[in-house]
Amino acid sequence: MTYAVSRLADTRCRVGESPVWDGERNRLLWADCRAGRIYVHDFNVGELFNWTLPEQVRSFGLAEASRLVVALISGIYLFDTQSQGLEFLVDPEPEHAGSRSSRRLNDGKVGPDGAFWVGSMHTDAPTAALYRITPDGQCERKVEGLSTSNGLAFSADGTVMIHTDSRAEWIDRYSLDASTGELGERTRIATPGEADGRPDGGAFDSEDCYWSAGVTAGCINRYDLNGRLLEKIPVPVRAPTMPCFGGPDMKTLFITSLRRENGAGDECGNVFMMSVDVPGVPIGRFGFPV
């Protein structure tokens, strides 16, 4: 299938990441991680605005009312978008507080259990982990031995979680009990390398297919649950970072990207969109199990 990819926003993010669709307000949110900025494109009025936070924004999700659950350098917070106030919840890795340049939080997403699942990245050793954060600030370590935790996505029925490691170059499938947040059987389904597109952020569609940003190959890869590559979709940037389904019918795929220090093209760091045939799986709100 041929897709028509168009630019949604010319934001030239240094590290554009974590696109989140807010269906109640008909708007897309995403982060410029290094700038500590969360952008909002409001489709009701065609307006683009942003909030600037005091630290790098590693990832975030929707929470109740006007709040977001946000992973910053120093931990997990609730961010009130109206008052601009931050409420601290928990630091999943307090033991690394003095080494945030090499060890920090990374990709995160609200799961069907209503918890915020967020991983870390450790550039100096494979000691990062994946965590499950509940609204009362409880933190549980779920997966260990990671380099760059990434690619979190949950199936429509809440029984499957996909998780990737960008630096280690693998995509794993887990069984999930959404009523308890317990992970079951773990299966490695794919090991995409540089030319294939190392796995960055990901999203599920309603046919149980996983869409993965190929951050090293300028593409979005669509896999089935067994890791078979169904489509490799080129995008107009060298380093797409994360896809996100949205729109009234969930048939619009939004794509964030980053600008590398050397060799960035004019479109790198912008946000793109394209129409797809299969709707995506909606993402819930923090504290509200699906």
Give 10-residue mean pLDDT values along the chain (290 residues): 94 97 98 98 98 98 97 98 98 88 95 98 96 98 98 98 98 97 98 98 98 98 98 97 98 96 82 98 96
The residue assigned the tokens 């926003």 is: 9
Q: In what order do the strands lie in the sheet with 57-62?
A: 57-62, 67-72, 75-80, 86-90
What the block records as the tokens of 105 is: 């939080």
- pLDDT at residue 96, as a whole number: 86
| Neighbour-count burial of 110, counting CB atoms closer than 10 A to its CB (0-12 exposed, 13-18 middle, 19+ buried) | buried
Domains of the chain in start order, with CATH, are 6-275 (2.120.10.30)
- 3-class SS of residue 95: helix
- pLDDT at residue 263, as a whole number: 63
What the block records as the tokens of 118 is: 């967020």
| Neighbour-count burial of 163, counting CB atoms closer than 10 A to its CB (0-12 exposed, 13-18 middle, 19+ buried) | buried
What the block records as the tokens of 68 is: 């977001």
- pLDDT at residue 266, as a whole number: 84
- pLDDT at residue 213, as a whole number: 98
- Geometric angle at alpha carbon 36, from 34 and 40, rounded to 5°: 115
Angstrom CA distances, 157 to 63, 94, 144, 170, 261, stand at 21, 34, 25, 23, 40
The pTM score is 0.97
Q: Computed over its alpha carbons, how large is the radius of gyration of the chain?
A: 17
First and final C-alpha spacing in the chain: 32
What the block records as the tokens of 180 is: 């308890």
Using alpha carbons, select from 229, 221, 281 the residue that is nearest to residue 255. Answer: 221
- pLDDT at residue 233, as a whole number: 98
Interatomic CA distance for residues 233 and 230, integer angstroms = 10
Catalytic residues: 200
